[in-house]
Structure 1
Amino acid sequence: MNTAHFNSLSVDELWILHQEVAAKLAQKMAVQKAQLEERLHRIELANEATRLNRKRRRPYPPVRPKYRNPKNPAETWSGRGRQPRWLRPQLRSGRDLDDFLIDQA
């Protein structure tokens, strides 16, 4: 941009130019702000719709214990997930998992 002609302008002409530029900038910023706010509103609506449309995980019934610690009958295990601490050493010592089954009678 050639700025040499600014040197030939008077203070009043520069001030008028400044006001015109500031007004034009404010106008463009207002338009851009409105566009960004509309875009943000659409994104928020899409996020809300996604959140509402997410499938909820079905509730699973509680699983009954299948195995019991013979040394402490209060310690049980359903057979799901990680093996409990009381069971691991028993299995390493050669015992079978069926040795810990709870009678289903």
Structure 2
Amino acid sequence: MNTAHFNSLSVDGLWTLHQEVAAKLTQKMLVQKARLEERLRSIRLASEVTRLNYKRRRPYPPVRPKYRNPKNPAETWSGRGRQPRWLRPQLRSGRDLDDFLIDQASAQKRQTN
């Protein structure tokens, strides 16, 4: 349509044309939305199948503590991960990590006997 045709239409004619265009656009948008939702469903199904096919990690047993804070025996560390706050200043002051071993006390008793 050229603009001369729009200029010749009455207000009612323009409004009717507007409603027809809006209805056609709404219909096309609904078709596109249905296609996109179907694609999304297929992607979700594919991702679920992929997720189910992955092997599960084997559960590891809890790690027993290896080091104990002599000032607060409730504070322990397994030796894995970051060093705890109570241990860092002690090591900087010159103490050895072996000084904090939990089994150290029982090992010393065995050596003296």
Query: What's the TM-score, normalizing by structure 1?
Result: 0.67
Report what 1:79 is aligned to: 79
Measured in 1, the distance between the counterparts of 2:36 and 2:67 equals 60
Measured in 2, the distance between the counterparts of 1:80 and 1:11 equals 79
Measured in 2, the distance between the counterparts of 1:96 and 1:61 equals 28
Q: RMSD in angstroms over aligned alpha carbons? A: 3.1
Report what 2:100 is aligned to: 100
Q: Percent identity?
A: 86
- Counterpart of 2:52, as a letter, is L
Report what 1:52 is aligned to: 52
Measured in 1, the distance between the counterparts of 2:21 and 2:72 equals 83
* Change over 3 Å in CA distance of 1:60–1:2 after alignment to 2: same
Please, which runs of 5 or more residues in structure 2 have no aligned partner? 108-113
Please, which runs of 5 or more residues in structure 1 have no aligned partner? none
Could you tell which deviates more after superposition, 33-42 or 88-97?
33-42
Instruction: Tell me by how many angstroms 1:91 deviates.
Output: 0.9
* Change over 3 Å in CA distance of 1:3–1:75 after alignment to 2: same
Could you tell which deviates more after superposition, 21-30 or 71-80?
21-30
Report what 1:41 is aligned to: 41
* Change over 3 Å in CA distance of 1:93–1:33 after alignment to 2: closer
